[in-house]
Amino acid sequence: MKESVAKFVPITSEAFEENAYLAYLPTRSDCVVFDPGLEPEKILTAVFERKLEVVAILCTHGHADHIAGNRALKEHWPDAPLIIGVGDAIKLIDSAENLSAGYGVPLTSLPADQTVSEGDVVECAGLRFEVRETPGHSSGHVVFIASELTPIQVVGGDVLFSGSVGRTDLPGCSFEVLERSIREKLYTLPDETIVLPGHGPATTIGKEKRTNPFVNDK
């Protein structure tokens, strides 16, 4: 492996403070967008300012605050495949499943162009992401792991946060399942692995194993 030259730019929407990520290699003109949220215009601005083209839209899970911008991005880049874990694909097109109906503002996305499962690999924009299924916060949640980068980078959605974990008080959630996902799918990665969460600042696996009050090694 070589030192990472990939750029992961967080783009945060205000209402739910969710993070989308723009990932690209500075030597290329294409990019990937993860979890486009409730303010897609911020993502579009970031892409256009860098003179990039979106070649894939990857969703860690199907809750409304992480898929609300899918339609806007597909309008600009209709050939960019929309990719999500197979277990959460229904959430893209069902406002009850993606929880937006419960907030009184039902929204849907375009359907998935491709679904992924444990062990699949997504290659786009010169980057390679391994898929691991990480249910608990959402039944079909996945994370995307750029294991060829040094340090490894994980686009982690709402599984593991800096000092916290994803909510488990929502329909289809389970803390026991989430804890197992964290211990078996994330805490097995090297301590220096960077986690890019769906909310809040980036963290590392080592820090969370030592200090996370919900799931730690103590």
> Residues 128-171: pLDDT tens digits?
999 999 999 999 999 999 999 999 999 999 999 999 999 999 98
| Cβ–Cβ < 8 Å for 167, 76 | no
Average pLDDT score over the chain: 96
Q: What pLDDT is recorded for position 15?
A: 80
SS3 per-residue string spanning 109-120: CCCCCEEECCCC
CB 197 within 8 A of CB 162: yes
pLDDT digits (tens, 9 = 90+) for 38-80: 999 999 999 999 999 999 999 999 999 999 999 999 999 999 9
Q: Tell me the Cα Rg of the chain.
A: 16
Could you tell me if 175 and 184 are in contact, meaning their C-beta atoms sit under 8 angstroms apart?
no
Mean pLDDT of 89-100: 97
- Specify the pLDDT at position 4: 61
What whole-number distance in Å separates Cα of residue 127 and Cα of residue 67?
22
Q: Compute the distance between CA of residue 65 and CA of residue 141 in angstroms, rounded to an integer.
A: 14
pLDDT at position 165: 98
pLDDT tops 80 at residue 3: no
Backbone angles phi, psi at 172, to 5 degrees: 80, 10
Q: Is residue 218 scored above 70 in pLDDT?
A: no
What is the rounded CA–CA span in Å between residue 105 and residue 88?
20
What is the CATH number that goes with domain 2-211? 3.60.15.10
Q: H or E element: which one contains 132?
A: strand 127-133
* Pairing state between β 121-124 and 127-133: antiparallel
Q: What is the pLDDT of residue 91?
A: 98
What percent of the chain is predicted at pLDDT more than 70? 98
The domain ranges of the chain are 2-211
> Is the whole model's pTM more than 0.95, yes or no?
yes
**Is the pLDDT at 103 greater than 90, yes or no?**
no
User: How would residue 1 be classed by pLDDT, with cut points 50, 70 and 90?
Assistant: very low
